[in-house]
Amino acid sequence: MVDPVTAGAAVLSGIKLVKQSVDFIKSNINTCKDVGEIIGHVEKAFEGEKQCLRDREKKGADPFATENVAEEIINAKIAQEQLYELSQIVDLRFGHGTWKYILSERKRRIDERKEKIKEAKIKARRKKQEMMDNVRMVSIGIVIIVFVCIVFGVGIMLLASKNFIVYAHEQPSLKHTPYCLLYDPKYFIICMNEGRGYADTQLYLDYKKEREKWIIDNSK
């Protein structure tokens, strides 16, 4: 048999859900072997009551409209009365304290559900943070690799360039090489690096410098 409360719970208003849940429990409680068989319908009754309270406090209703205030207050009051009647029926059928046990068990389940939701949110935030950290690390790694590649590429280009070796003067042609062999080591290096003309100039300057140290006797 299809449970009419379960089948229509998605479309019932709060007060109707409370009434149908309570009526279903009244009709079937004498055939129930334990409280577990009606706990789902008790939960629907609580859900209906919560909806009635939500309707009473909803922002969409005009608080100054008499018909709205009356209907919302009455529905909330009826829902509470229905739940009280249900508590008496349950305690009468299964023993005193059963309703208190149901309320305690319901609170425990609600708290567990809230805790699971909280843990899921924390886990999701942690996972998101880890993902952002990984993206940041990968981005930094990519930047470093690109920078190294650029530096390496520039270095290769400079090495490949014929102007990589910087001279004080224009690089001499290879045609000077045979002449450079005629110089002493010091001037040979100058000749090879800067040309024969600069080697001759430096040789002349060194000669003049040495010449200026000579003592010339002009007394004769």
In a domain, 186, yes or no: yes
| Per-residue pLDDT, 166 | 45
- Residues above pLDDT 70, as percent of the chain: 75
Per the model's pLDDT, the better-predicted residue between 126 and 2 turns out to be 126
Question: Shortest CA distance to 198 belongs to which of 175, 174, 178, 169?
Answer: 169
Confidence of residue 119 (pLDDT cuts 50, 70, 90): very high
In a domain, 218, yes or no: no
Per the model's pLDDT, the better-predicted residue between 190 and 44 turns out to be 44
| Per-residue pLDDT, 74 | 85
The answer to whether 85 and 22 are in contact (CB under 8 A) is: yes
| Per-residue pLDDT, 197 | 81
In a domain, 25, yes or no: yes
The tens digit of pLDDT for each residue in 147-193 reads 888 888 877 776 655 444 444 445 555 555 666 777 777 888 888 88
| Per-residue pLDDT, 8 | 43
In a domain, 151, yes or no: no
In a domain, 191, yes or no: yes
Domain range for residue 185? 174-211
The type of residue at 170 is E
In a domain, 133, yes or no: no
**Which of these three, 73, 96, 119, is where a domain ends?**
96
In a domain, 71, yes or no: yes
**Which of these three, 52, 75, 96, is where a domain ends?**
96
What does the block give as tokens for 123?
A: 């886990």
- The pTM (predicted TM-score) of the whole model is 0.46
- Out of 36-45, 65-74, 115-124, 148-157, pick the least confident: 65-74
| Per-residue pLDDT, 103 | 87
> Residue 57: is its pLDDT beyond 80?
no
Query: Rounded distance, CA 204 to CA 202, Å?
Result: 5
**Which of these three, 96, 131, 146, is where a domain ends?**
96
Signed CA dihedral, 8, 9, 12, 17: sign only: positive
The number of folded domains in the chain is 2
Rg for the chain, CA atoms, rounded: 50
In a domain, 51, yes or no: yes
Query: Rounded distance, CA 98 to CA 83, Å?
Result: 14
Give the range with max mean pLDDT: 16-30, 46-60, 62-76, 200-214.
16-30
State mean pLDDT over 45-70. Answer: 71
The answer to whether 38 and 29 are in contact (CB under 8 A) is: yes
